[in-house]
Structure formats: C-alpha cells, structure tokens
Chain A
C-alpha cells in the first residue's frame, strides 16, 4: 500500500510534462512520499516498500517469515498505481 503513495507521486512530479516547472523539487517530493509510505505501513508490516531492502537483511539475518509479502505487496501496489495513472491522472 505504501508503494501506492510513492509511485503516483513519481509519475506526476518527474514524468508528467505538466510538472516541468517543479522539476527541481521532484527529489524532495519523492523522498517525502517515501517517508509517508514507510510511516503508514510501518506499524503493520515494518514499512519495507523496497524489495531490495527486504531481501538483503533477510538473507543476512536468516529471517524468512512472510518474506513473499515484501515482494508481492510492493509489486501489487506498483501495478495498481500504474493503472491509476494511466486511467485517471494522465491527460
């Protein structure tokens, strides 16, 4: 679900050409979106919306409980966000 906050922000700020005048602010918008995503999912699942960040510590700490959640959840959120962008937000 956190990915659903992050990905539309990136699309609207960095990809969409309507936001050209805000291009210098895009990194700030993206990192605050990531902070919000981690905060909102942190209490429930630990707030890992980055599969690379989930894989590394799992391999080194040998913790594999529910590991598939940290791959399927962000991918599902990204697909949902792409659908939302292409049907709603795109001009």
Chain B
C-alpha cells in the first residue's frame, strides 16, 4: 500500500513539474513554438524523475490509453489520473501566485463564486459579497 501511495506521489510530482513549466512559459510568452519546446523539455525531465518509481505516465490521456490497451490495472490507473489532475491544479496555483502574488486565491474564490450554484449551503455566505472589486 505504501508503495502505491509512493507511485501516486511520483505521478503528482511529474505532472506538477510539467504543468508548472508549461503554464508559466505560456503566461510569460504565449508563443506556440516556445511553449511546445518547454513542453518537450519539461516532459523529458519529468519522465527521467519518475521512470523508475511509477513508470512515468505523467499525462491522464497516456494513462487512459494504457488502461484501454490493458497494460495498466484500471484501479491504479484511476488513482494515477486523479493524482495527475491534483498535480496540475497545484502547479497552476503555484504559477498563478508566482505571476501575480497574493491574487491567486482571490481568483480561485472568484471562480468558486461564479459557480456558486454548485456549492453547498454553508459556503454561500463566503461567496455572497460582490467579487468585482477584489481584483482591482
């Protein structure tokens, strides 16, 4: 069991590295060529980091393809996909707070406010104030 958690953490780390590099470079330049090169180099680093631990799948679609081809157990594949998505979210949080310090969580709160229909009742009062002035 501890080994499985280690593998999920390795997938989290690989996805974190890839998404952090790509999101920061896309926010900085927006140039497709540079973003593609960043993708390749960051994926190379992430593969070399996680290859001996979890098999270096990094992306959810690769895990999905391996499940479909019956090279990966479905239960472990689903946990890999979940940890890769959490890694991507953590990397976006990091890059957003690096680009615009102290605004990241306000942006997240604004996103939550815009879909507050989905939130349970106790969260309602947290999001009820008008958010338009938060980002100015």
Chain A residues with a Cβ under 8 A of chain B: 3, 6-7, 10-11, 15, 27-28, 30-32, 34-36, 38-39, 42-43, 46-47, 49-53, 55-57, 59-62, 74-75, 77-79, 81-82, 85-86
> Known: A34-B40, A38-B39. Contact between A51 and B61, CB under 8 A?
yes
| Smallest Cβ-Cβ distance to A39: which chain B residue | B36
> Known: A56-B23, A60-B107. Contact between A31 and B47, CB under 8 A?
yes
Complex contact B35–A42 (CB within 8 A)? yes
- Kindly state the separation between the CA atoms of A39 and B32 in the bound complex, as whole angstroms: 7
Interface size on B, as a range, is 35 or more
5 more CB-based (< 8 A) A-B contacts, given A31-B41, A50-B60 = A49-B59, A56-B92, A59-B111, A81-B65, A85-B69
Residues on A with C-beta less than 8 A from B110 are 62
